[in-house]
Amino acid sequence: MPSAYFFERIQMLVEGKVISKDSAEKVVFMIDALERNLHIIFYEDNAGSMVNHLCLAVQRIINLNPVQAPVELQNEIAAYRRYYNLSLEILKQGFKDHTVKDNSLENEAMFLTLYLAAIKPEN
């Protein structure tokens, strides 16, 4: 069960029609998977921005409206391959039954990696 800290926020985004119910379910799945794999609990102060980004990222992927990741971002995340691989795997699991545009999961995983690196720096 993921952190309860974001359920209200996610529900408000669904009620405000910012994200779909399907997106909300995927976000909850991803938060749970990240918390379990990283042995961390996300709170507003350490992950509020990441959860907002994840909600919008999931909605973009569902709408087949991929984000573009600049080449510089690839260089920046090179030091965080573990986080990138985990992010990509969780995104793939969350979207295994959906059509996705080329590189959309990879690009979103790059941005998610930056959030994870800020929340829990690797040693």
* CATH value at residue 32: 1.10.1790
- Map residue 14 onto helix, strand or coil: helix
30 three-state secondary structure: helix
* Confidence at residue 1, expressed as pLDDT on a 0 to 100 scale: 47
Residue 14 has pLDDT above 50, yes or no: yes
Give the amino acid at 76. E
Are 108 and 67 within 8 A, CB to CB?
Answer: yes
First-to-final CA distance of the chain = 27
Confidence band, pLDDT 50/70/90 cuts, at residue 9: confident
Q: Write out pLDDT tens, residues 24-63.
A: 999 999 999 999 999 998 888 888 899 999 999 999 999 9
Task: Return the minimum-mean-pLDDT range out of 10-14, 81-85, 88-92, 93-97.
Answer: 10-14
Domain count for the chain: 1
Lowest mean pLDDT among 3-12, 55-64, 97-106: 3-12
Whether the CB-CB separation of 35 and 41 falls below 8 Å is answered with yes
Q: If you average pLDDT over residues 63-89, what whole number do you get? A: 92
Where in the sequence is the domain holding 62, given as residue range(s)?
Answer: 4-119
pLDDT, residue 3, reads 58
CA distances in angstroms from 54 to 31, 123, listed in the order given: 9, 25
